[in-house]
């Protein structure tokens, strides 16, 4: 069974693919974003299959079809996610994906109304991001072995993540012609396919230059490879590969924090603000569409601001 329109019957999976195609063609969303939307909608589809009297997550019954969901169905889905300990940010993202999907369903005359339209988005968890101290960053950067190929690559990756604050997806998408170590800047494609130029420091430029001169030429197998960072087999590194690299060196540095590529992005922004950078400039370098996203880092620099105030204000 599925959705009927003009005498045709579409399976739920077909409708999801039609929606993903719409996002890619009509709205021009990037591949990673499309994958995320697809996963979120398919997770809801799996949840629907557990309904109609069978609450197990491995239900084999037909459950509800996508077009049979009501507002009550979506509300119980939110409760179901909360009971499983999912973060508010995850629930909000999945709910946003559902709302967008059902907007498409209404637009295409598959449904008369959007069942997710008036469902409240849960308040985000008030958790501040993990940030490294400058001393911890120094320890992390010392971990890769400068004398071997992989060490040169890993050092360049760590230095570039911290020096530019780019996302791990942006890092792995970098090609050779996206970076200039002489001008100390790189060009990356962020969310929504928006391009931005990000400056880099002398230390990160030196690390990348050394990797390009002595590391990458020996790692690549195909001279036509254009990826900046490659794996042991000479092919473009994946996001998962970079995560493993960062985790491995974080463990070796004996830093008692959970370190991910995003930790270096958070540290980049926080350290800039602590040293006097203005919020708008940091927003531009991070590629945030809304400055309110960047403002979370101001919560991390309160102690520094108090010190500045104490030193600078005549009546402090």
Please, what are the domains in the chain? 3-107 (1.10.150), 134-311 (1.10.443.10)
**What is the predicted pLDDT for the residue at 303?**
56
CB atoms near residue 82 (< 10 Å) = 13
**What is the predicted pLDDT for the residue at 276?**
85
Buried-exposed string 220-249: b where 16+ CB fall within 10 A, e elsewhere: beeeebebbbbbeeeebbeeebbeebbeeb
**What is the predicted pLDDT for the residue at 120?**
83
Q: Which residues are catalytic?
A: 167, 191, 262, 265, 288, 297
Give the residue among 261, 245, 266, 249 at the shortest CA–CA distance from 171. 261
What's the burial of 99, exposed, middle or buried (CB within 10 Å: 0-12/13-18/19+)? Answer: middle
Query: What are the backbone dihedrals phi and psi of residue 10, each rounded to the nearest 5 degrees, phi first?
Result: -110, 135
Q: Could you tell me which residues are beta bridge partners of residue 3? A: 10
State the Cα–Cα distance between residues 81 and 91, nearest whole angstrom. 7
pLDDT in tens, 189-211: 888 788 999 999 999 999 999 99
Q: Which residues of the chain have pLDDT under 70?
A: 1-11, 52-62, 122, 124-127, 299-316
**What is the predicted pLDDT for the residue at 58?**
39
Give the residue among 110, 88, 112, 94 at the shortest CA–CA distance from 46. 94
Query: What are the backbone dihedrals phi and psi of residue 24, each rounded to the nearest 5 degrees, phi first?
Result: -70, -40
């Amino acid at each position: 069974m599925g959705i009927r329109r003009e005498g045709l019957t579409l399976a739920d999976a077909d409708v999801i693919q039609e929606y993903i195609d719409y996002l890619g063609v009509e709205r021009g969303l990037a591949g990673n974003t499309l994958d995320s939307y697809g996963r979120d909608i398919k997770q809801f589809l799996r949840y629907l299959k557990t309904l109609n009297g069978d609450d197990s997550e491995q239900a084999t019954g037909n459950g509800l079809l996508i077009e049979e969901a009501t507002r009550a169905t979506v509300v119980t889905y939110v409760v179901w996610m909360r009971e499983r300990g999912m973060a508010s940010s995850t629930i909000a993202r999945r709910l946003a994906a559902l709302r967008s999907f059902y907007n498409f369903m209404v637009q295409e005359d598959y449904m008369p109304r959007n069942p997710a339209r008036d469902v409240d988005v849960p308040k985000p968890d008030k958790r501040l991001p993990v940030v490294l101290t400058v001393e911890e960053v120094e320890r992390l950067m010392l971990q890769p072995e400068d004398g071997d190929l992989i060490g040169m690559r890993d050092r360049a990756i760590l230095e570039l993540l911290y020096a530019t604050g780019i996302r791990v997806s942006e890092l792995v998408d970098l090609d050779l012609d996206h970076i200039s170590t002489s001008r100390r800047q790189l060009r990356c494609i962020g969310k929504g396919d928006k391009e931005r130029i990000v400056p880099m420091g002398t230390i990160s430029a030196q690390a990348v230059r050394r990797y390009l001169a002595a590391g990458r030429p020996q790692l690549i197998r195909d001279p036509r490879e254009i990826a900046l960072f490659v794996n042991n087999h000479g092919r473009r590194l994946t996001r998962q590969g970079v995560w493993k690299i960062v985790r491995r060196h974080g463990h070796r540095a004996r830093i008692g924090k959970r370190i991910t590529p995003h930790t270096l992005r958070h540290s980049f922004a926080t350290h800039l603000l602590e040293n006097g950078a203005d919020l708008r400039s940091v927003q531009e370098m991070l590629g945030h569409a809304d400055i309110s996203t960047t403002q979370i880092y101001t919560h991390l620099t309160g102690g520094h601001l108090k010190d500045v105030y104490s030193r600078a204000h005549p009546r402090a």
